[in-house]
């Protein structure tokens, strides 16, 4: 999974985005240097998958946006239906910019709300207008080879803050964490806090043991991915036992299967951890069933 690098804003694509009430090209979008998102990372975001032109699990993403904003003591500046309208507009404009039909490219809609513009002071200012930004891009799902063979991950201590449940734009901890795996030519960094699994830099992590799917509790130490609820639903309908509880490092190292979930990875098998095989070293049967369930959920959305 490569990053796309630009040396200046002038090289950004002409694809459309939405900023504070207006549609403009990504290349032309501007915010104030005093935006608290820029100064403090004082904002929240969402990443919503779009399949065949349709927003996937949009209501759940909106609910999480509300929760994150609530943690920042902010109100949602838009109604959920307004967010939907903007997202659908962008999906269609983005397809137009690529000269394809809206349903032809799977996309990711990125939503960001920052507290807004104020002179620099840590204290949260009241009554300022939030900055609202939305863009969309082409989804880059796992490659067929990654699906077939699974991916490599590394482990690390979870050195992030203790409010990982907020989908905050201040992501330096996640950037540091992800870089560790990138440097090791791996896809994710699986993190542990005091010897217990938390999550990966930008994914939730699941353990399969004896046919059961184990996930970590939905507390302040992990972001509750939208795929949390989805995994539970798929397990219920397919008869896979499901449990959320603390999971030790020893249990992760002894897993039959290890899985990542996120908006882009969907369900992805981890087949080596710190260079050692996980279970059989191949994507396992529970991963296959969950992935099939995921594809069904997409088709029914």
Ligand X SMILES: Cc1ncc(COP(=O)(O)O)c(C=O)c1O
**Best CA proximity match to 92, nearest among 188, 18, 12:** 18
Q: Binding residue for ligand X (CB under 6 A) from 86, 135, 202, 259? A: 202
The answer to the question of residue 226 lying near ligand X (CB under 6 A) is yes
Under rule CB under 6 A, which residues in 9-48 are in contact with ligand X? Answer: 47
DSSP 221: T
Question: In DSSP terms, which residues pair with 266 in a beta bridge?
Answer: 262
Per the document, the length of the chain is: 301
- Specify the stretch interacting with ligand X by CB under 6 A; choose among 29-37, 88-96, 140-148, 259-267: 259-267
Window 45-84: contact mask with ligand X (x via CB under 6 A): --x-------------------------------------
Q: Is 216 in the site for ligand X (CB under 6 A)?
A: no
Contact between residue 229 and residue 236 where contact means Cβ atoms under 8 Å apart: no
Among 54, 167, 212, 218, the one annotated catalytic: 167
User: For this structure, is 167 an active site residue?
Assistant: yes
CA distance 101 to 107: 12
Q: Is 109 in the site for ligand X (CB under 6 A)?
A: no
> CA distances (Å), 162 to each of 91, 105, 115, 222, in order?
35, 37, 21, 9
Give the per-residue contact string, 159-198, with ligand X (x = CB under 6 A; - = no).
Answer: ---------------x------------------------
- When binding is defined by CB under 6 A, the residue of 197, 214, 227, 252 that contacts ligand X is 227
Strand partners, 110: 47, 135
CB-wise, 114 or 204, nearer to ligand X? 204
Token pair of 123, please?
A: 């204290």
Q: How far apart are CA 290 and CA 8, in angstroms?
A: 41
Q: Which residues bind ligand X (CB under 6 A)?
A: 47, 174, 199, 202-204, 223, 225-227, 261-263
Residues known to be catalytic: 167
């Amino acid at each position: 999974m490569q990053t796309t690098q630009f040396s200046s804003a002038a090289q950004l694509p002409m694809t459309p985005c939405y900023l504070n009430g207006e549609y403009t090209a990504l290349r032309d979008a501007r915010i104030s240097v005093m935006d608290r998102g820029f100064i403090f990372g004082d904002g929240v975001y969402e990443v919503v998958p779009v399949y065949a032109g349709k927003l996937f699990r949009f209501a759940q993403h909106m609910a999480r946006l509300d929760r994150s904003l609530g943690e920042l003591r902010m109100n949602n500046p838009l109604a959920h239906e307004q967010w939907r309208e903007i997202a659908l507009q962008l999906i269609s404009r983005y397809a137009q910019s690529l000269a394809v039909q809206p349903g032809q490219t799977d996309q990711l809609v990125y939503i960001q709300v920052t507290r807004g513009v104020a002179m620099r002071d840590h204290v949260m200012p009241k009554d300022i207008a939030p900055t609202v930004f939305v863009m969309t891009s082409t989804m880059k799902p796992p490659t067929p080879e990654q699906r077939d063979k699974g991916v490599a991950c590394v482990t690390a201590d979870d050195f992030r803050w203790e409010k990982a449940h907020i989908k905050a734009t201040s992501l330096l901890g996640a950037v540091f964490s992800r870089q560790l795996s990138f440097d090791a030519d791996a896809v994710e960094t699986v993190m542990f806090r005091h010897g217990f699994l938390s999550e990966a830099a930008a994914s939730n992590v699941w353990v399969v043991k004896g046919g059961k799917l184990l996930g970590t509790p939905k507390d302040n130490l992990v972001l509750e991915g939208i795929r949390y609820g989805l995994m539970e639903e798929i397990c219920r309908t397919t008869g896979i036992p499901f449990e959320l509880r603390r999971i030790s490092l020893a249990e992760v190292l002894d897993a039959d299967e290890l899985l990542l979930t996120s908006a882009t990875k969907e369900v992805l098998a981890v087949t080596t951890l710190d260079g050692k095989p996980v279970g059989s070293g191949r994507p396992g049967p529970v991963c296959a069933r969950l992935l099939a369930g995921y594809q069904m959920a997409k088709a029914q959305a």
